[in-house]
Structure 1
Amino acid sequence: MYQTILVPVDGSSHAEKALQVAAQLARGTSAVLHLMTVAEFPPDNIGLFTGGVAEPYAEEEREKLAKGMKEEAHKAIDKARATVDLADIEVKEVVRQGRPAELITGEAEALGADAIVMGSRGVSDMRGMVFGSVSHKVSHTADCTVITVT
């Protein structure tokens, strides 16, 4: 049934549960799992988020922050892999930087994914309540099956 399954991970327990479900699906169908994590863009400034004045980052500071965010993204994949037995499953990894929902649906389309299996909530639950959850956006915009795991 499934040949290509995209599994976005972000270090949350919901993402780990989603990977467990995806691994079961992959074992039953010999699908390839594509673990994906998205390092969001560094903010243009931090002042607005802390109640201060907008102070733009210097390019060097933005690059340093972006590098740190990408490192954290790789750690999210490593953490997810450590929680699930992925023996005998072909697993590929990808890290992108940008807006998570858009990149997840774009990656699924580029891969020709049959399904996206993702957690219902991520590590930024408060932000999701304010701006709308990534899983909600993906489930409404993806062209393939989306399985949301709680």
Structure 2
Amino acid sequence: MKILVPVDGSERALDAVRHALRLKREGLNATFVLATVQEPTYLYELMLAPDADVLERVSGAVGSRALEGAEALFNAADVSFEREIGSGDPAQTLVELAERLACDAIILGSRGLGTLRGTLFGSVSQAVLHAAKVPVTIIRHTESDAAN
């Protein structure tokens, strides 16, 4: 079983990571893909950046920072993982990643660092839940999650 675990650097995303690691500790035979999605580049950013390589490096650096906490938890648990950094609409990109990587399930936090747009028009987790062709588990945040 291959499980996509989207993260954005938020504590709620780490709740999903902790849940995935708990399932692994309890005997689930699974591999994991940690994924993050960066917002698309806008024309304004394209005009300010000297070239596409600069934008790619900046986006990759931001994506790597978003993955740091999740990677640290996986490394501490001695569980191997793949990593993916996507760009575009977060929900759509996550669903496409899950399909492209042949993931069997998605585990994600209930809310993350989404923008006001996400609050007004529905969260990424809800959009993934409705669009994914594989089972989706949304992990609700509780204060005790951080201790596990």
Runs of 4+ in structure 1 displaced over 4 angstroms?
none
Q: What is the aligned counterpart of 1:129 among 106, 114, 119?
A: 119
Counterpart contact for 1:42–1:62, Cα < 8 Å:
no
1:55-66 to structure 2, matched below 5 A, reads: 57-58=47-48, 60=50, 64-66=54-56
Counterpart contact for 1:6–1:33, Cα < 8 Å:
yes
Counterpart contact for 1:23–1:33, Cα < 8 Å:
no
Counterpart contact for 1:4–1:115, Cα < 8 Å:
yes
Counterpart contact for 2:49–2:55, Cα < 8 Å:
no
TM-score normalised over the length of structure 2: 0.81
Indicate the RMSD between aligned Cα atoms, in angstroms: 2.1
- The letter of the residue matching 2:77 is L
User: Is structure 2 residue 5 aligned with structure 1 residue 7?
Assistant: yes
- Partner of residue 70, structure 2: 80
TM-score normalised over the length of structure 1: 0.80
User: Is structure 2 residue 102 aligned with structure 1 residue 104?
Assistant: no
- The letter of the residue matching 2:31 is V
Structure 1's unaligned 5+ residue stretches are: 47-55
Please list the CA deviations of residues 89-130 of structure 1 after superposition, one character each: whole Å capped at 9, or x if unmatched: 231111111221111111111222121000111112533112
Counterpart contact for 1:26–1:33, Cα < 8 Å:
no
Counterpart contact for 1:119–1:148, Cα < 8 Å:
yes
Identity %: 34
Structure 2's unaligned 5+ residue stretches are: 141-148
Range with greater deviation from structure 2 (99-108 or 76-85): 76-85
Counterpart contact for 1:7–1:34, Cα < 8 Å:
yes
Residues 125/13 of structure 1: CA separation in 2 closer, same or farther (3 Å cut) = farther
Aligned-residue offset at 1:66: 4.6
User: Is structure 2 residue 47 aligned with structure 1 residue 36?
Assistant: no
- Partner of residue 143, structure 2: none
- Partner of residue 26, structure 1: 24
